[in-house]
Amino acid sequence: MHNILLIAIGPSIALLLFFYFIDRYDREPLALLGKLFLGGMISVVPILLIELGLQSLNVLPGILGVAYTAFIVAGFTEEFFKRWVVMKIAYKHEHFNERLDGIIYCVFVSLGMATVENVFYIFGNENPISVGILRGFISVPMHMLFAVTMGYYLSFAKFTTEEVRRKKYLKMTLWRPVFLHGVFDFLLMSGQILLTIAVVPFVLWSWKVNFVKLKKYYRDSKGIQNMDYLDD
């Protein structure tokens, strides 16, 4: 039991520690990060209820039904509530004073939600160890990568001085992670060999592009400067 629990929560703990210590120059208060993580955990309740409701409306056949589940039921619902928690708790917080913070906040919320989800998946499966290892290397890190994308644009919205651009970036904080999440789930749920195989290059690409985003903000974490670039 203890080994299974460690497999379920271990990946999230490792990623949380990584993001906590990578914020070297202006580390965020543990109380704030704890509140974000807890908010992510609690968000599972409305997420589950809404996902059940949306899935009951899914009357689309075949691959269209899969796309609906991946992009609307899972992708949109989960990223919407993760974003909502960040906006409510951290967006206007006084400690949100550098670009890296946006990523840190979104990651803590996302991993809070992913931890609860992982526990449910693993303890509800007949092969908890194999499922836990697979999810630990793929699903949990992907939730983290969706959060990096969300936080990247959240910081643009936070620090831009132009209202038009702020609104644009705030929209990106939702639809870009929703798209990534939807594609990932769609490939896994498709039941088609070629699409399932495509998960591998998609995961590798996601790591690459989000590592670039994280590296940019880590490099600039000593100050908030040059906020006018954006790699669309």
Interatomic CA distance for residues 164 and 168, integer angstroms: 6
Taking the complete model, does pTM exceed 0.85, yes or no? Answer: yes
How confident is the model at residue 225, as a pLDDT? 46
pLDDT, tens digit, 9 for 90 and up, residues 14-41: 999 999 999 887 889 999 999 999 999 9
- Mean pLDDT score across all residues of the chain: 92
Q: Determine contact, residues 129/167, Cβ cutoff 8 Å.
A: no
How confident is the model at residue 222, as a pLDDT? 59
How confident is the model at residue 12, as a pLDDT? 94
Q: Determine contact, residues 29/55, Cβ cutoff 8 Å.
A: no
The domain limits of the chain are 2-219
Mean pLDDT lowest among 2-16, 191-205, 218-232: 218-232
Give the confidence band of 1 by pLDDT, cuts at 50, 70, 90: low
